[in-house]
Amino acid sequence: MPSEVPESLVQALAQILHEHGDKVLDGSRILALLTPCLQVVTRLFEQLFPRGPGTGFQALPAHPADSVPILRAQFMLDMLQKTPSLKLVHPAECPRQFDVNIFPFKSLRSLELRCLPPHCLRGLRSVYSQLEVLTCYRCVSSLEEVIALCGGDLSSALPWLVLHTLDFSYNTLKNLDGSLELLNSLKILDLSHNQITECGSYLKVLSELQYLNLGYNHLTAVPELSVGNTAKLHSLILKHNQLSGTSGLENLPNLQHLDLSYNLLLEHSQLSGLARLHNLKQLFLEGNPLYFQKDYRALTAQHLSHKASDNVLLDGKLLSSSEIMNAQAFGEKVRLQPSSSATESSCTGDLTDSYSAAEKSAPRLPRKKSRVKVRTASISERSDSEYERRGQPIVLQHQREIERTDSFREQYGEDWLQYRPHLEGELDPEYVNRPHSPPPRASPSPTAPSSVPKQKSPVPAPEPSPSPKSG
């Protein structure tokens, strides 16, 4: 074995493959390697087993070698060429400019890269056409550098024939690009935990898409999908975005799982598209502003399809029968609202119009509304008449007092004020009940105030000290 290859590392890897080789080969276990370890092993293979011009399966010598290290290396190469699943982890202490080659893995079906920049990876071009699952964590800033260029191979863009799962979550993607056109067989796409602000029309080419995860991004609208993928899509995750509307969801008739939690949905009217999702089984709206409304669950159930409301899980909980009944009640209330508002607006217009216009429109209004209008008019008339009747006795009494004063002035002449006490008794009814002395008169006997003669001719003024005449 070459001296520069750490023998202890090779022995440890060979021991792992001896113990767990069967599970690795049948796909029940995933072989996970650090990039420095794989770099050491590939250098060993290049030194012991020079590769030919082809990139196919590398055959081992027919006769086993006599050297134990070479036998160990032959065993490892044989195992790696048959391994279907590989996970490569690039340690943080390793430099970013670090080349690692995956040429020993001829049977790869699943490849996972963690923290390994795509430009450091070699040999992806030799296995891309057979890969079914590709996962990249914390290492991708562009779809094109992996899908179109095959990482460090910098190859020309070719379609990925059997790739059905692409997981580019926890990266720094800001937008999509045309490289998605190369993924004709893609069914599962996970682009969560990125910095995507819009998807444009790039997702329309994914006609076989069934699962789409765009959670934890900066989307403000539901992504555009083509007619082909809308018919097959059954799971859509858009949680933790900045959605203020749900336009486009009505075009997903086969959607079963929908996660819109922690967005900016304010009103339940923005959920109108849910009524066409007849196969919906799970709906998540937690964390939106509408989630904190009093009748949130009943209002949400109002916008669900009647076929799905009995079995749908809203935020992980089945809708109760009372919530479904309340939803139906809210639905009736909403349907009645437009007619009532129209009636109110027509009544308001009648009040502001002239009397003739009100009379013309009165027969069109409901009987109850017309009675309200008549009652309002009659109340105002009653208040005016009551005010007039209330002021009328005061005016009549005042006129009578003026007439009496004029009559006394005509009877007693200019000295009529001398009979003021007597006049006060005539003008004030309460004066009769008060004790007072009779006014002086030139008559045989004093008379009561009520027996004052009503003569039109002037009466001589009484003497200062009148004396009664003897019988």
Phi, psi torsion values for 34, nearest 5 degrees: -80, 145
Q: Is residue 460 a part of any domain in this protein?
A: no
Distances (CA, A) of 72 to 24, 50, 121, 200: 17, 16, 26, 52
Angle at 440 between CA 434 and CA 444, to 5 degrees: 115
Q: Is residue 383 a part of any domain in this protein?
A: no
Is the torsion defined by CA of 23, 24, 30, 31 positive or negative?
positive
pTM to 2 decimal places: 0.68
Residues 6+ apart with CB under 8 A from 452: 422, 426
Q: Is residue 364 a part of any domain in this protein?
A: yes
Q: Is residue 366 a part of any domain in this protein?
A: yes
For position 163, what pLDDT does the model report? 97
**What are the structure tokens assigned to 379, written together?**
């109340």
Task: Report the distance separating Cα 106 and Cα 125, nearest Å.
Answer: 11
For position 356, what pLDDT does the model report? 40
Instruction: Name the β-bridge partners of 114.
Output: 89, 137
Instruction: Name the β-bridge partners of 31.
Output: 86
**What are the structure tokens assigned to 367, written together?**
């009987």
How many structural domains is the chain composed of? 1
Q: Is residue 339 a part of any domain in this protein?
A: yes
Task: Report the distance separating Cα 171 and Cα 213, nearest Å.
Answer: 14
For position 400, what pLDDT does the model report? 77
> Tens of pLDDT along the chain (471 residues)?
444 557 788 889 999 999 998 999 998 999 999 999 999 999 888 888 776 545 555 555 555 556 788 888 889 999 999 999 999 999 988 877 788 999 999 999 999 999 999 999 999 999 999 999 999 999 999 999 999 999 999 888 899 999 999 999 999 999 999 999 999 999 999 999 999 999 999 999 999 999 999 999 999 999 998 877 788 999 999 999 999 988 889 889 899 999 999 999 999 998 988 889 999 999 999 999 999 998 899 899 988 988 888 889 999 999 888 887 776 666 555 555 554 444 444 444 443 343 343 344 444 544 444 454 445 444 444 545 444 455 455 556 667 778 777 777 777 776 667 666 665 555 554 444 445 445 455 444 444 444 444 444 444 444 444 444 443
For position 335, what pLDDT does the model report? 52
Task: Report the distance separating Cα 179 and Cα 67, nearest Å.
Answer: 48
Q: Is residue 333 a part of any domain in this protein?
A: yes
For position 404, what pLDDT does the model report? 77
| Parent domain of 328 | 320-370
Q: Is residue 362 a part of any domain in this protein?
A: yes
Task: Report the distance separating Cα 215 and Cα 236, nearest Å.
Answer: 9
Q: Is residue 340 a part of any domain in this protein?
A: yes
